[in-house]
Amino acid sequence: MPARAAVLALLLALSLGLFARRALLLVRLVRLGRPVDRSGDLPRRLLREVAHVLGQRKLLQRPLPGLMHALIFWGFLVLLTTIAEALGQVIDPDFALPLIGRAGWLGLLQDLFAAGVLAGIAIALWIRLVQRPERFIGSHAREAYRILGWITWIVLTLFLGNAARIAQGVAEAPRAWTPISSLLARPLEGLSEGRLFLLEQASLWVHLALIFSFLVYLTYSKHLHIATSAINVFLAKTEPPGALTPLPISLEALEAGEQSLGAATIVDLTHKELLDLYTCTECGRCQALCPAWNTGKPLSPKLLVMNLRDQLFAEGPGILAARARGEEAQATPLVPEVVDEAVVWSCTTCGACVRECPVDIEHIDTIVDLRRNLVMAESRFPQEAGALLRNLENANNPWGMPQSQRAAWAEGLDVPVLGEGDPAPDVLYWVGCASAFDDRARRIARSLAKLLSAAGVSFAILGPRELCTGDPARRMGNEYLFQELAERNVATLTEAGVTTIVANCPHCFNTLRNEYPRYGGRFEVLHHTELLARLVREGKLRPSAALDTLLAYHDPCYLGRHNGIYEEPRALLATVPGVRSVEMPRHGPRGFCCGAGGARMWMEERIGKRINEERADEAAATGADTVGVACPYCLVMLDDGHRARGDDVRVLDVAQVLERAALPEPAPSPTD
């Protein structure tokens, strides 16, 4: 016995020692990055831990792969008890866990969950070998099979050891409680006691050797996520998903060389962004829904994460060694050496990747940090986007239009413009630059203003005092410009005594609601579909004229995925007589972007298929004659998409649809 205990202690010490050595390096590599505060909102973090990690909620959004992972994950939680038993039984064959070790229910749980792990492995093989989903393109397939094989042997040796113990009559749980192991014990029953003992001990030792080596191997493999997922989920943002992680800019720190503008090299990523790299399981769920990847762009959120991870492992140890010598290592610029510039600019910040990722990786923050460095430190961006930034700097709006033209869309509508010192209206209508300056989007503003007037809402607009919220500047990477615009807008709104804002642009809505509070702007912010739905519910608007249309509603990313508003626009459309709704295959939380977010609205789309045309194809395939939107960007993009197709599908904002039903134009009289 002392010899067996010594061997076990040696193996355990070796595997734990190697694990700890690697873990220490991994921690030091993460600490190379920038600190980011993720300490607040503990209850929410704990709840998410329960839902995402223990409950596997995000994984189970896809039933078959979710079931596969849950079976393996939950199985291993239960099998922690069998590992503890095996550790004891290689030293003392009569060992059982204190209190619960000989309980029938524990034996049953262990038996069923071990079988569940094998079922999970079978599903994984079915998915990989038979279904062959495209989401695995670029993932390490060989490593995945190696891990699946490893886990299979861990469970098979467990069963074999159990069966040998049952055949010897020394198993802890009553035989009836371990049906699968008992079944496997039957063919062994003719063996001598000595051979059964040998078989049992050999199985246990191999079982433990597999586990010890797995413990070390996982720290070098994509299965590192086993160790880091729970931490990554805990540290994920608790702010609304539409709020970008801010980059507080201090001019003094910049001048002293103590602050980096975004991410130039791997060490400029934040601690969370670096931990994200370890945690990627290469499942490809993000890639499967990425509009850029799906239209032939070079951006795959999965491959981006994998490339950055490779870079961290390739360069990080050298940087640590240099720092240990008191030297500052010259780190490689991430763009374009590690990440192609086209990758950085292809992202629409649609949020599909972040929402899908089962381990809460925050791809958008990383991409925007790369953009921040290109834009603010290097002045490198697509040429057309330069006009956007110049217009924002010089004219306070992306169109470069004079601010005096802000209210031109309202001509003839008698919309009150809030002057300095005027009493605050009940509702401030935040028009947004698109609805103020784009000819097609202006129609949304006119519809909304008419509906608000008809419903008796006391509202006003800021007119020339409204500036761009800064959303396109921020998503493009110009955090400095965003902060300046945000502070000026917050000052105007606060001075005017505004308490409630309605915005018809989801980008403005998201920024006002989720990002301005950090700059002191705390208002009740509604999207126009929320307010209009309320007005219809209260009977202040009565959609009564029938429209006779088949309508496919397109979920704007910044309304749906980033703010969870899917139902209000649909509920509103359902109140309109004659509107028959049809859903596109990609809708709701798995909706497909129009291609305009992330400042892509102002960039050319030269690679692959145009995203708006892909979406227009999908809408047209439903047979709908109208596409409903709730965003001026989507309206323009999808209208362009349908024009390019040459079809006669109309694109209308929900407000325009409601106006036609609630405020129909009077029919021309026979004498007209």
Q: Are 117 and 71 in contact (CB under 8 A)?
A: yes
With contacts defined by CB under 6 A, name the span among 28-36, 192-200, 348-356, 475-483 that binds ligand SF4. 348-356
Q: Is 561 in the site for ligand SF4 (CB under 6 A)?
A: no
The CA-based angle 617-621-627, given to 5 degrees, is: 75
Using CB under 6 A, pick the residue from 349, 435, 447, 549 that binds ligand SF4.
Answer: 349
Smallest gap, in angstroms, from Cβ of residue 232 to ligand SF4? 10
Q: Is 312 in the site for ligand SF4 (CB under 6 A)?
A: no
Smallest gap, in angstroms, from Cβ of residue 292 to ligand SF4? 4
Alpha-carbon distances of 423 from 407, 452, 487, 496, 503, rounded to whole Å: 19, 18, 22, 7, 20
Using CB under 6 A, pick the residue from 30, 347, 410, 493 that binds ligand SF4.
Answer: 347
In the bound state with ligand SF4, the residue whose beta carbon lies nearer, of 302 and 443, is 302
In the bound state with ligand SF4, the residue whose beta carbon lies nearer, of 59 and 247, is 59
Q: Let me know how long the chain is.
A: 672
Q: Are 446 and 663 in contact (CB under 8 A)?
A: no
Q: Is 301 in the site for ligand SF4 (CB under 6 A)?
A: yes
In the bound state with ligand SF4, the residue whose beta carbon lies nearer, of 363 and 443, is 363
Q: Among candidates 347, 369, 385, 371, which has minimal Cα distance to 607?
A: 347
Q: Is 601 in the site for ligand SF4 (CB under 6 A)?
A: no
Smallest gap, in angstroms, from Cβ of residue 453 to ligand SF4? 37
- Max CA pair span of the chain: 110
Q: Is 352 in the site for ligand SF4 (CB under 6 A)?
A: yes
As beta bridge partners, residue 270 has: 34
Q: Is 84 helix (H, G, I), strand (E, B) or coil?
A: helix
Map the footprint of ligand SF4 across residues 256-295, applying CB under 6 A. 280-286, 289-292
Neighbouring C-beta atoms of residue 636, cutoff 10 Å? 21
Close Cβ partners of 608 (under 8 Å, ≥ 6 residues apart): 295, 296, 297
Q: Is 356 in the site for ligand SF4 (CB under 6 A)?
A: yes
Smallest gap, in angstroms, from Cβ of residue 270 to ligand SF4? 16
In the bound state with ligand SF4, the residue whose beta carbon lies nearer, of 358 and 560, is 358
With contacts defined by CB under 6 A, name the span among 107-115, 356-364, 378-386, 621-629 that binds ligand SF4. 356-364
Q: Among candidates 614, 508, 504, which has minimal Cα distance to 568?
A: 504
Smallest gap, in angstroms, from Cβ of residue 559 to ligand SF4? 15
The site that binds ligand SF4 (CB under 6 A) totals a number of residues, namely: 29
In the bound state with ligand SF4, the residue whose beta carbon lies nearer, of 280 and 525, is 280
In the bound state with ligand SF4, the residue whose beta carbon lies nearer, of 144 and 319, is 144
Q: Are 278 and 228 in contact (CB under 8 A)?
A: yes
Q: Is 305 in the site for ligand SF4 (CB under 6 A)?
A: yes
Neighbouring C-beta atoms of residue 400, cutoff 10 Å? 14
Can you state the angle between helices 225-235 and 271-279, rounded to 10 degrees? Answer: 140
Map the footprint of ligand SF4 across residues 360-389, applying CB under 6 A. 361, 363-364
With contacts defined by CB under 6 A, name the span among 66-74, 162-170, 341-349, 639-647 that binds ligand SF4. 341-349
Q: Is 642 in the site for ligand SF4 (CB under 6 A)?
A: no
The three-state DSSP-derived secondary structure of 489-532 is HHHHHHHCCCCEEEECCHHHHHHHHHHHHHHCCCCEEEEHHHHH
Using CB under 6 A, pick the residue from 210, 263, 350, 388 that binds ligand SF4.
Answer: 350
The residue with tokens 């980059």 is 247
In the bound state with ligand SF4, the residue whose beta carbon lies nearer, of 359 and 636, is 359
Smallest gap, in angstroms, from Cβ of residue 651 to ligand SF4? 21
Q: Are 33 and 123 in contact (CB under 8 A)?
A: no
With contacts defined by CB under 6 A, name the span among 101-109, 244-252, 357-365, 469-477 that binds ligand SF4. 357-365
Contacts 24+ apart (CB under 8 A), 408-411: 408/436, 409/435, 409/436, 409/437, 409/442, 409/445, 409/446, 410/445, 410/446, 410/449, 410/461
> How crowded is the C-beta side of 643, counted as CA atoms within 13 Å?
7
In the bound state with ligand SF4, the residue whose beta carbon lies nearer, of 52 and 285, is 285
Q: For residue 202, with 0-12 CB atoms within 10 Å meaning exposed, 13-18 middle and 19 or more buried, which class applies?
A: middle
Smallest gap, in angstroms, from Cβ of residue 283 to ligand SF4? 4
Smallest gap, in angstroms, from Cβ of residue 480 to ligand SF4? 22
Map the footprint of ligand SF4 across residues 128-157, applying CB under 6 A. none
As beta bridge partners, residue 501 has: 428, 525
List residues near ligand SF4 by CB under 6 A: 280-286, 289-292, 299, 301-302, 305, 347-353, 356-359, 361, 363-364
